[in-house]
Amino acid sequence: EAAVTQSPRNKVAVTGGKVTLSCNQTNNHNNMYWYRQDTGHGLRLIHYSYGAGSTEKGDIPDGYKASRPSQENFSLILELATPSQTSVYFCASGDGQGAQAPLFGEGTRLSVL
Amino acid sequence: AQKVTQTQTSISVMEKTTVTMDCVYETQDSSYFLFWYKQTASGEIVFLIRQDSYKKENATVGHYSLNFQKPKSSIGLIITATQIEDSAVYFCAMREGYNYAQGLTFGLGTRVSVFP
């Protein structure tokens, strides 16, 4: 069964600390995505990847880095976390075909204090 | 740049009735794909139905159907015979055809509450 798994599911971080959010997919999809969801802003694309070794900036990449070490794994990295990065983060994967709807993970709730 | 607008913030309906929600999109591309997702109370985001821009027929999946009005850049979602479990937030999203690898652009969502 196709799956996108995120870890951790909940995270509390301190301002200025480093945070890494992980995503694993078993769908053998080429493309992976990181979104954040905030009230009033909906889902916004942070970074995406075409495949292992590639990362691309999405619509709101500032303050975030991404890493795609393998086909299955895609990480979102906050080097210096700030309270404005408190949000719910979703990872998704897709096969790169225009008509294919990306599959979403369960989400990670991040609070930066 | 692409843009997706859902103007209805929330809708309340009685169980077993039909609910319709609106979505308007903007794109310069002649080829694009439109998607509807549902986000449940647990936060899970689930794909429901898709419309391809080159298809004239409205897509239908189960009790979900679309009202695609291309000249108006509009893609409405219709849920018939609603059930309590249809209570959720519904998102409209678009992908332009020139770069399939890019992620979707989402609207802000419409919260649907179904009452017994």
Closest CA to B53 of B99, B96, B103, B110: B96
Q: Is B90 on the interface with A (CB under 8 A)?
A: no
Predicted confidence (pLDDT) per residue in B29-63, tens digit: 888 999 999 999 999 999 999 999 999 999 999 99
For B3, list phi and psi in degrees, rounded to 5: -150, 145
Predicted confidence (pLDDT) per residue in A8-22, tens digit: 999 999 999 999 999
Q: What is the mean pLDDT of residues B73-99?
A: 93
Min mean pLDDT across A38-42, A60-64, B89-93, B106-110 is at A38-42
**B66 close to B79: Cβ distance less than 8 angstroms:** no
Q: Which residue of B has its CA nearest to A89?
A: B43
For A103, list phi and psi in degrees, rounded to 5: -100, 135
For B83, list phi and psi in degrees, rounded to 5: -125, 160
pLDDT at residue A2 is higher than 70: no
Contact yes or no for A92 and B102 at CB 8 A: no
Q: Which residue of A has its CA nearest to B100?
A: A98
pLDDT at residue A64 is higher than 90: yes
Predicted confidence (pLDDT) per residue in B3-18, tens digit: 999 999 999 999 999 9
pLDDT at A89: 98
pLDDT at B97: 74
Q: Would you tell me which residues 5-64 of chain A have a C-beta closer than 8 angstroms to some C-beta of chain B? A: 30-31, 33, 35, 40-45, 48, 50, 56, 58
pLDDT at residue B82 is higher than 70: yes
Q: How many residues does chain B have?
A: 116
pLDDT at residue B26 is higher than 90: yes
Predicted confidence (pLDDT) per residue in A24-50, tens digit: 999 999 999 999 999 888 899 999 999
Percent of residues, chain B, with pLDDT higher than 70? 97
Contact yes or no for B44 and A104 at CB 8 A: yes
pLDDT at residue B100 is higher than 70: no
The number of beta carbons lying within 10 Å of the beta carbon of residue B88 is 22
Q: Which residue has the tokens 């027929």?
A: B57
How many angstroms separate the CA atoms of A23 and A55, rounded?
14
Mean pLDDT score across all residues of chain B: 94
Residues B3, A43, B36, A50, CA torsion sign: positive
pLDDT at A100: 85
pLDDT at B1: 72
Q: What is the mean pLDDT of residues A66-81?
A: 97
For A83, list phi and psi in degrees, rounded to 5: -55, -30
pLDDT at B86: 97
pLDDT at A41: 85
